Structure 1
Amino acid sequence: MRLITLFLVDYILLSLAWILAGYKSFYGNFSWYLPSHYLPILITIGIQIGSLAIEGIYREGQKRYDYLNIIKSLTFAHGLILFACFLYQPVVDITRPKSILLSWLLSILFICTGRYAVNVTLEYLRKQKKIVRSSVFIICDPQDHEQIASFIKKEKHYIVSGTAHANSLDRYQRQKTLNQLNELGVTEVFISWDALKNRMFLCWLFQASGIQVHILPMELKPIYKNVEFNKIGGMPCLSLDCPIITGKDFWIKRSCDFCFATLFVMLSFPIYVAIAIAIKLDSPGTVFYRQTRIGLHGQQFKVWKFRTMRSDAEKLQKELEALNETKDGIIFKIKDDPRITRVGKFLRRYSLDELPQLFNVIFGEMSIVGPRPLPTRDVDKFSEHHFIRHEVLPGITGLWQVSGRSDIVDFEQVINLDLNYIENWSLGLDFEILLKTVMVVLKKEGAY
Structure 2
Amino acid sequence: MSTAFLNQGSLDLREPVFAKIRKGSWWLRLIAMVATDYTLLLFAWIISENYASRNFSDYTQSNSLQMIVIAVTVQIAALALQGSYQLGKKHFQYLSISKTLVFAHGLLLLFGLISQSVFDITRSTLILSLLASILFVCTGRLAITFFFDHLHQQKILDRDSVFVICSPENYEQCLTTIKEENRYIIRGMASPTALDRYSRRETLEQLNKLGVTEVFISWDAIKNRMFLRWLFQASGITLHILPMELKPIYRDIEFKKIGGMTCLSFDCPVITGKDFWLKRIMDFIAAALFITFTFPIYIAIAIAIKLDSPGSIFFKQTRIGLHGKPFQVWKFRTMKTDAEKLQKDLETLNDTKDGILFKIKDDPRITRIGKFLRRYSLDELPQLFNVLLGEMSLVGPRPLPIRDVEKFSEQHFIRQEVLPGVTGLWQVSGRSNILDFDQVIKLDLNYIENWSLGLDFEIVLKTIQVVLKKEGAY
The normalised TM-score by structure 1 is 0.84
1:71: which partner in 2?
98
Q: 1:156, CA displacement in angstroms?
A: 3.2
Q: 1:176, CA displacement in angstroms?
A: 2.1
Closer, same or farther in 2 for the Cα pair 1:306/1:16, shift >3 Å? Answer: farther
Counterparts of residues 275-314 of structure 1 (less than 5 Å):
275-279=301-305, 287-310=313-336, 313-314=339-340
The one of 62, 77, 81 equivalent to 1:33 is 62
Query: What letter is aligned with 1:45?
Result: V
SS of residue paired to 1:220: coil
What per-residue deviation string (whole Å, max 9, x for no partner) do you get for residues 295-348 of structure 1?
A: 333343333323334555445544554554433332233355455455433322
Closer, same or farther in 2 for the Cα pair 1:222/1:92, shift >3 Å? Answer: closer
2:32: which partner in 1?
5
Counterparts of residues 201-280 of structure 1 (less than 5 Å):
201-240=227-266, 246-248=272-274, 250=276, 253-254=279-280, 256-279=282-305
SS of residue paired to 1:247: coil
The answer to whether the 8 A contact 1:126-1:156 is kept is no
2:469: which partner in 1?
443
Answer yes or no: is 1:121 the counterpart of 2:147.
yes
- CA distance in structure 1 between the partners assigned to 2:48 and 2:123 by the alignment: 11
The answer to whether the 8 A contact 1:368-1:396 is kept is yes
The answer to whether the 8 A contact 1:37-1:92 is kept is no
- CA distance in structure 2 between the partners assigned to 1:52 and 1:408 by the alignment: 45
SS of residue paired to 2:328: strand
2:222: which partner in 1?
196
What per-residue deviation string (whole Å, max 9, x for no partner) do you get for residues 123-153 of structure 1?
A: 1221112524222111112233233223212
The answer to whether the 8 A contact 2:83-2:89 is kept is no
Closer, same or farther in 2 for the Cα pair 1:321/1:62, shift >3 Å? Answer: closer
The one of 348, 352, 360 equivalent to 1:326 is 352
Counterparts of residues 130-145 of structure 1 (less than 5 Å):
131-145=157-171
What per-residue deviation string (whole Å, max 9, x for no partner) do you get for residues 46-101 of structure 1?
A: 321233234443256793234444333323322221122112334242x1234434
Closer, same or farther in 2 for the Cα pair 1:33/1:352, shift >3 Å? Answer: same
The one of 38, 52, 63 equivalent to 2:79 is 52
Query: What letter is aligned with 1:49?
Result: I
The one of 351, 370, 374 equivalent to 2:377 is 351
SS of residue paired to 1:9: helix
Answer yes or no: is 1:388 the counterpart of 2:414.
yes
- CA distance in structure 2 between the partners assigned to 1:357 and 1:442 by the alignment: 19
1:369: which partner in 2?
395
Closer, same or farther in 2 for the Cα pair 1:108/1:221, shift >3 Å? Answer: closer
Q: 1:374, CA displacement in angstroms?
A: 0.6
1:411: which partner in 2?
437
Q: 1:278, CA displacement in angstroms?
A: 4.2
The answer to whether the 8 A contact 2:354-2:436 is kept is yes
- CA distance in structure 1 between the partners assigned to 2:276 and 2:452 by the alignment: 11
Query: What letter is aligned with 2:73?
Result: G
The normalised TM-score by structure 2 is 0.80
Runs of 4+ in 1 over 6 A off after TM superposition: none
Percent identical across equivalent pairs?
Answer: 66
- CA distance in structure 2 between the partners assigned to 1:13 and 1:443 by the alignment: 61
SS of residue paired to 1:161: strand
Q: 1:393, CA displacement in angstroms?
A: 3.2
Query: What letter is aligned with 1:215?
Result: I
- CA distance in structure 1 between the partners assigned to 2:392 and 2:38 by the alignment: 44
Unaligned runs of 5+ in 2: 1-26
The answer to whether the 8 A contact 2:87-2:267 is kept is no
Q: 1:232, CA displacement in angstroms?
A: 0.8
Answer yes or no: is 1:80 the counterpart of 2:107.
yes
Q: 1:360, CA displacement in angstroms?
A: 3.1
SS of residue paired to 1:301: strand
- CA distance in structure 2 between the partners assigned to 1:399 and 1:317 by the alignment: 27
The answer to whether the 8 A contact 1:204-1:242 is kept is no
Query: What letter is aligned with 1:386?
Result: H
The alignment of Structure 1 onto Structure 2 pairs a total of residues equal to 444
What per-residue deviation string (whole Å, max 9, x for no partner) do you get for residues 172-227 of structure 1?
A: 22222223223333232111122234333433433343332222122334444444
The answer to whether the 8 A contact 1:122-1:132 is kept is no
Please identify, of 314-323 and 401-410, the stretch whose mean Cα deviation from structure 2 is larger. Answer: 314-323
Q: 1:105, CA displacement in angstroms?
A: 4.3
Closer, same or farther in 2 for the Cα pair 1:335/1:76, shift >3 Å? Answer: closer
Q: 1:367, CA displacement in angstroms?
A: 3.0
What per-residue deviation string (whole Å, max 9, x for no partner) do you get for residues 98-121 of structure 1?
A: 443443344334433432332233
- CA distance in structure 2 between the partners assigned to 1:256 and 1:85 by the alignment: 44
The answer to whether the 8 A contact 1:226-1:241 is kept is yes
Q: 1:351, CA displacement in angstroms?
A: 0.9
The answer to whether the 8 A contact 2:161-2:186 is kept is yes
Closer, same or farther in 2 for the Cα pair 1:286/1:107, shift >3 Å? Answer: same
SS of residue paired to 1:402: helix
Closer, same or farther in 2 for the Cα pair 1:298/1:83, shift >3 Å? Answer: same
- CA distance in structure 1 between the partners assigned to 2:306 and 2:246 by the alignment: 60
The answer to whether the 8 A contact 2:238-2:267 is kept is no
The answer to whether the 8 A contact 2:159-2:184 is kept is yes
Query: What letter is aligned with 1:104?
Result: L
Q: 1:380, CA displacement in angstroms?
A: 1.0
Q: 1:381, CA displacement in angstroms?
A: 0.9
Q: 1:375, CA displacement in angstroms?
A: 1.5
